[in-house]
Amino acid sequence: MNVVFHHSNDDPELHDRVVGNIANLLDDETIDLDAVALVANSGGLTLLLEDSPQRERVAELQQRGVQFKQCRNTIKGTSVTEADLIDGVELVSSGVGELSRLQADGYAYLKP
C-alpha cells in the first residue's frame, strides 16, 4: 500500500498530529506499506522548515523511508528558499499536482 498525507495548515498542533499520524501508520503491523509521502503546501510549509519544532521528528521519519515534498508555488512570493528546508525535503512544482499524480499512481490520500 502507498499512502500520501496532505498537510496545508500552519497550526503547530496539527504539525504534531500529522507527524504522529505518520509514525502511527508506520508502526501499525497490520498494514503492508510500500511507500509513504507527505506533500505540504500553503501553511504546511512551516512544518518542513529547518527551524521547525518538528525537525527531529521529520528527520526520524525520513530515516524510516517517508518522503517529504514541498510545493514550490507556496514558496514563491515568500522569503523562504530551498536552503531553509529540512535536508532531504523535495521541492515539487505544485502541491496539488503532486497529490494528483500520486493518487493516480495508486496512493491512498489522507488529510489529518
For residue 35, how many other CB atoms are within 10 A of its CB?
A: 15
Sign of torsion over alpha carbons 14, 67, 101, 46: positive
Whether residue 77 is predicted with pLDDT greater than 90 in this model: the reply is no
Note the pLDDT tens digit of each residue in 36-68.
999 999 999 999 999 999 999 999 999 999 999
Q: Give the span between the Cα atoms of 94 and 104, in whole angstroms.
A: 15
Length of the chain: 112
Domains and CATH numbers, the chain: 2-110 (3.40.1260.10)
Q: In the 8-state DSSP scheme, what is residue 29?
A: T
pLDDT at 91 (0 to 100): 97
Closest CA to 110 of 38, 24, 19, 23: 38
pLDDT at 39 (0 to 100): 98
